[in-house]
Each structure stands twice: as structure tokens, then as C-alpha cells.
Amino acid sequence: MPDFPQPITLSSFGEEPDYFEPLSSRFLVRNTTGRWLPLLESGYKRELRSRGLKSKPDEGDTLSDIDAAILDVQHHRDISHYGPICGKNAGLLEANGQRILVTEDPRLPEPAPGAWANLRAVLEGLLQKGEDEAIGRRQVATFHGWIKSSVEALRAGELQQQQALALCGPPRCGKSFLQGIITHMLGGRGAKAERYFSGKTPFNADLYAAEHLMLEDEHCSTRIENRLKLGSSIKQHTVSTYLGSLHAKGRNAVNLPGWWRVSITLNDDPEAMMVLPPLDQHIADKIIILRASVFQWPMPMVTTADRTGFHARVVSEIPAYLHWLLHEWQVPHEVIDPHRYNVATFHHPELAEALHCFSPEAELHELLQLTYADAVLHRVPVEATAAEIEAAVRYRDPARADRLFSFRNACSTYLGRLAKKYPQQLEAMRDKTRRWWVIDHGLLSSQPPVTR
């Protein structure tokens, strides 16, 4: 797997080198707590005076010590961007021809032998005990494998591709609690990603400052165009991470790879699940979908103090869990993906079926049933072009058609997906002058309409 750019060493002025970002005219100075302070020139001069440099030139000199130091930093230690960078420790990076000052470290838990009974109870209660035995075991193993692959890559500084993780379950079952624990396992830095993923803002510096990107169903849209946009963003932040664009407000964009893991928590009712992108061939393998269940917590979770105390106890068990995961547990053969993700994509079968029922192609299937009811009655196939089918559907239900056919060639796209699912009942035909579709009457009566 490709590695992140490695730190480079520049000649330093004093014990710790200072840097300069021309766009903001900020000098970067590391203080006694280890944090980097962005200082304007006036503040930087005070810093230099505190180091014993003189503000007035000696007789015969053109520049003072402070002026010479400022010019030295501007000429030799200029940077294109400064700030925290996901997956990287503090230090200077050279990436894509640019120098970037990483200002913070992720806080990676150090694996250590020990007990993790409470964390085990959460994982097994949430993902296993409410399921059939085989599915429950598969869900827990998939989660273990997803975390193991992620932690190994993060600790090694590797850009390992990894699926997004969706946790679907009833309200207050603990899925958001687990999402917070994932943040601790991945360096302690999380970011709400909905605004950037949905296109509400072009600025994503907050995402580059966190390894764990989180989404929740109440902040996402169920409109098909927004679901498709979400799918594109998930793809960008799971498998297309080798070069991204970091854009902070008021600063130039910087091309830099990002290290991210994406998790999504949503209720398991159909309306909430409809925020997920349609599981077509472009996105299906890039999302793991697990069902979460209500379970008996191993400690009381009634008061705020109860919840705070239990959270602290589970966080304290993370080093033991990671030690077991990295040094004792092996990914089961049936869960291994040796080619891309290390752990195979898994969709809980009932949730996957529910998502299909609310996919655009499923809605088109229903509209075809309503539009061509006479073909079912007379048991004859329908032969029409995609444009003719779209026109017929629009005539039958213009409001739903407007929502469904939200982009050029949408009807043809969804017919193609239906053809893959029902190859014996829907077929594309072509001659020298045109392309049309043959819809068997059996497809028009093969499923009851989608319940809405």
C-alpha cells in the first residue's frame, strides 16, 4: 500500500525551527506546551526579542538580528499550509511538491494486554446477540476485521483503502456510543462530515484534521440526487484517498492525500435508511452495513453520571482490545478480502433487501407496473425506447417521475440496473438505428408495489 509522505528535516534556527506561511503572513512558532502558534510579524518580533535577538542593527550593519532572522525564515522555511493532518504526526512534510507543517499528533492508544469485558459486551450485544447465530458471528467478525485493518494501517502510516461502516438500528440502542469508541481507537479525532459530503460547503480543513469522519441520518437527505452525491463522497473518502484537495476558508487549496475512516449511524426504519446511496455496482462494495440491536448494558446507563462512567471504563479497555485484535485474533477465512480491504464487504441481508426496495430502480419497477398494467392483463411484452418509457411514466405519475428522473438518461440507467437483477424479464435490444427495451409481462407483476 502507498505510504504517506515522510517527514523531512530542514536546518533550524535555534532549538526548534520556525516557519512562515506567505498567504496568511503568519510565522509558526512552537510554544512550551508543544503547540504551534501562528504569529503576525509584530508578535514574532516579540518572540525573537525573548530569545535575545536585537531589534536594532549594529553600527555598519543594514539589518538587525531580528530582521535577519525574519528574512531567513521567509526565504528558507516557507510552507504552503499548516494545521493538523489526518494520519500524520506533527512535523514537516513534503507532499506533491509542497511543504506542509503538521501541527498536531493523533492520540493513538498503545495496545497492552488486559481485560476488555465491557467493550466485548457492547460489541456482542449490539451486533451479535439479537441476530441469528451465523449472521451475528459474521457481523462481529466484520467489525473486528474493519477495525484491525484500520488500526494497522494508521499505525504504519499506510493509505489502506477501507469501506465505510454503516450501523443501522433502533434509536438509543448504542450505535452512536460505538461510533464514539471508534474515534478513540483511531487517534481520538472525529469530524462531522455531512456539510462537505452533501456539498453545502467547499471547505474541508476540519475533515483533514480528523481520522474518523462521522455521518448521522438526521442530518442527511433522502432525495435521490443527494443520495448519489453522498455515494460519490463516500467513494472519495474510502478508496480515492491517494490525492485529495485540502481547502481551508481564506487559504489556497493544497493537494494532499487523506487518511480517513467513515462511519454512518442511522435508524433502521425505511425513511432513515433512505439516506444511504443506492447499492449499485459503483458503491455496493464500498459500504459495510451492520444491524445494531437493543441489548442489556453491563452497567446502569440511566443517569448522565452512569453513562459518563461507563464510557470512561470502555475507553480504558481499548488498549487491551487492540492488543487482542492485533496480536491474538486472526481474520476468519470467510471474512477475508485479500485484494483490497483486508475484510470482505458485508451487508446485513434484511437491511440490504430493504434498501433495494427503496432504490430508484425499485421505484421505477413499481411505476412500470402501474404504467403498463394492460400488458399484465393481456400477458404481452412491452417494447419501447427509454425515452418512450420515461414519457409514459411521466404521463402516469408526473410528480414521482420528476423526483425519479433527476438527471439526463436516468430512466436508461435505472432500466439497466433492473436488467441486471431480472435478466430474463428485461432486455436491451439494438439495431443499426436505435436501442429499445423489451419488458416481459412477468416483470410487471413479479413484485408487489413498494410500500410507502
pLDDT tens, 59-82?
A: 888 899 999 999 999 999 999 999
| pLDDT tens figures, 10-59 | 333 346 799 999 989 999 999 988 889 999 999 999 999 999 999 999 88
Q: How far is CA 427 from CA 196, 203, 278, 394, 415, in A?
A: 39, 44, 22, 22, 9
Grid cell locating 32: 512550551
Q: Nearest Cα to 276, choosing from 214, 234, 213?
A: 234
Residue 214 β-bridge partners: 192, 263
Q: Which domains are seen in the chain, by residue range?
A: 19-102 (no CATH), 117-355 (3.40.50.300), 359-445 (1.10.10)
- Alpha-carbon span 436 to 385, nearest angstrom: 4
Residue 166 has pLDDT above 50, yes or no: yes
- Confidence (pLDDT) at 441: 85
267 C-beta neighbours (distance < 10 Å), count: 20
Helix (H) or strand (E) holding 38: strand 36-39
228: pLDDT confidence band, cut at 50, 70 and 90? confident
Contact of 29 with 44, CB cutoff 8 Å? yes
Cα–Cα distance for residue pair 443/404, rounded to 1 Å: 19
